[in-house]
Amino acid sequence: MLRSGNRKRGLDVEREIIRLLSDELNLIRFPAPNYQLGSSRALSKATDDEGVDIVFTRNAPSVLRDLNIQIKRNTLITKGVKIDLEPLLRIGDMSKPVLINKLYQKQGKANKHVGTFVTINIHDYVELLKQATGVTAVPEQLSSQPNITQTKTRTKRR
């Protein structure tokens, strides 16, 4: 019974993140016609078996198509925050793996939401930033050592 409760809570977070991405990025979610994202459980058993929870289809903007998102819902038992990166490593062979952790803290019998965090490989993050900002390459003059001239300044000691 405990497993099914944990599974349900995990699937609820998955649906919540799909809804958030759909609303914030103005995307059409499955099962609507021409959908752009959905749960891998509904769209691709092979992808679901790989550990990916959210899939972007060919109808989604190109910057999103390579993202492979896994969702985790964790309840913190101690005061320290520990995020398990093993799921990210498991889907690391795929292009642009992303791990989303929704964290809760025990408060009596209830759980208080303390934050939702995204973990991504730094190279994929930089690539996404380049695509979002339209940067295609670092200009030649900026890629070499900067030419810095420093003038000596004196500060008063008190």
What is the DSSP code (8-state) at residue 79? S
Q: Give the global pTM.
A: 0.72
pLDDT in the model for residue 39: 92
32 and 59 Cβ atoms separated by less than 8 Å? no
Any domain includes 63:
yes
Domains contained in the chain, number = 1
pLDDT in the model for residue 23: 92
Any domain includes 157:
no
pLDDT in the model for residue 130: 83
Cα–Cα distance, 95 to 138 (Å, whole number) = 23
Which structural domain, as residue segments, surrounds residue 87? 2-137
**Taken in order 31, 32, 33, 39, is the CA torsion positive or negative?**
negative
Any domain includes 87:
yes
pLDDT in the model for residue 53: 92
Any domain includes 47:
yes
What are the two backbone dihedrals, phi and then psi, of residue 145, each rounded to the nearest 5 degrees?
Answer: -60, 135
pLDDT in the model for residue 16: 92
Any domain includes 17:
yes
39, 107, 103: which is closest to 72 by C-alpha?
103
pLDDT in the model for residue 1: 41
In the numeric block, which tokens belong to residue 152? 């000596």
Segments of the chain with pLDDT less than 50: 1-2
Q: Is there a cis peptide before residue 31, judged by omega within 30 degrees of 0? A: yes
Cα–Cα distance, 97 to 9 (Å, whole number) = 22
DSSP one-letter string for 38-72: EEHHHH-HHHHHTT--EEE-TTS-HHHHT-EEEEE
Per DSSP, what are the bridge partners of residue 76?
A: 105
Any domain includes 142:
no
